[in-house]
Amino acid sequence: MDSSQFLGITTFTYLFASFLYIGALIFRTKQIGTFATVFTTIALLIQTAGLLLRWVESYQMGIGHAPLTNMYESVVFFAWVIIILYLGVEWKFKTKTIGAFAVPMAFLAMAYASFAPINRGINPLVPALQSNWLLAHVITCFVGYAAFAIAAALGIMYLAKSWSVKPGDKSDSREMLPSLKVLDDMIHKSIIFGFIWLSAGIITGAIWANSAWGTYWSWDPKETWSLITWFVYAITLHARYTRGISGKAIAWLSLIGFLAVIFTYYGVNFLLSGLHSYGSG
């Protein structure tokens, strides 16, 4: 089997795990949630094997680089990090229902990588990518992006639960979901975690840009939108600490921030030309 077959299996396993998590939420059955976690973990292991095999294949072709250099590889890596962070959240907070919102994000990323008309080949690195800063920059950015994806999933959960619970209703019609207070805290912590990693990604990117193009900042579209995304989350955290915003406000901001992430990551590559346009392949 080659790496593409491993990653194709991963896509459908994430889909199956998503159905299991959604089923656990709808039917409020913990046993289904346990199966969902098992399948998600299996999918993660298969995906890890696929990524490692793709790395080996690049060396066999005489190219030899980490599988992080085009749109296909970055989307696969994005899904991989989402699942790692999600499983960490599930383990820490002992709740599986978050998977009904987080795991489908990984599936959609893998589905896009598998079926979208993008280049899935292993290609030589362009000169600008031939740097030791490649891993540092890409990994830090995508850990941040994945944390923001988790925050957005939690934001959707918060809004869904807040709309389903009527004022004065003592019975919780969504008891499988964490409490609103816990969800609020989880959104906040996910944004902090993502913000730290995004900041590191921007810094490593600036250092890399200086070594590749002789300037730390050139107002390239992706650089500009990365900064815009950084400010969206910076304003969110500032408002949290100074104004005490919480609840629906931070839930909506987590969704707005993630839309900025998606445009920074995906939209810029296809809609705006610049130094990062090589990432559209």
With contact defined as beta carbons under 8 Å apart, do 143 and 74 qualify? no
Compute the distance between CA of residue 165 and CA of residue 246 in angstroms, rounded to an integer. 17
Number of domains in the chain: 2
Compute the distance between CA of residue 34 and CA of residue 231 in angstroms, rounded to an integer. 38
List the one residue out of 96, 115, 93, 281 whose CA is nearest residue 187.
Answer: 93
Tell me: the pLDDT tens digits for 199-242? 999 999 989 888 877 788 888 888 889 999 999 999 999 999 99
Question: Do 213 and 136 sit in the same domain of this protein?
Answer: yes
Q: Is the pTM of this model over 0.85?
A: yes
Question: Do 134 and 264 sit in the same domain of this protein?
Answer: yes
List the one residue out of 281, 279, 269 whose CA is nearest residue 225.
Answer: 269
Question: Do 1 and 54 sit in the same domain of this protein?
Answer: yes
With contact defined as beta carbons under 8 Å apart, do 279 and 74 qualify? yes
Question: Do 202 and 235 sit in the same domain of this protein?
Answer: yes
- Cα distances (Å, whole numbers) of residue 276 to 71, 142, 214, 222: 11, 15, 15, 7
Question: Do 101 and 167 sit in the same domain of this protein?
Answer: no
Question: Do 54 and 108 sit in the same domain of this protein?
Answer: yes
Question: Do 33 and 97 sit in the same domain of this protein?
Answer: yes
Tell me: the pLDDT tens digits for 133-192? 888 999 999 999 999 999 999 999 999 999 876 655 544 445 678 889 999 999 999 999
Compute the distance between CA of residue 226 and CA of residue 217 in angstroms, rounded to an integer. 12
Question: Do 71 and 118 sit in the same domain of this protein?
Answer: yes
With contact defined as beta carbons under 8 Å apart, do 162 and 187 qualify? no
Question: Do 172 and 45 sit in the same domain of this protein?
Answer: no
Question: Do 34 and 81 sit in the same domain of this protein?
Answer: yes
Count of all residues that appear for the chain in the document: 281
User: For residue 254, what are the domain limits?
Assistant: 126-281
Return the pLDDT at 120. Answer: 87
Compute the distance between CA of residue 102 and CA of residue 270 in angstroms, rounded to an integer. 25
- Cα distances (Å, whole numbers) of residue 63 to 38, 57, 78, 182: 35, 9, 22, 47
Residue appearing with tokens 């030899």? 64
Q: State residue 182 phi and psi, 5-degree precision.
A: -65, -45
Return the pLDDT at 274. Answer: 52
Answer yes or no: is pLDDT of 246 > 50.
yes
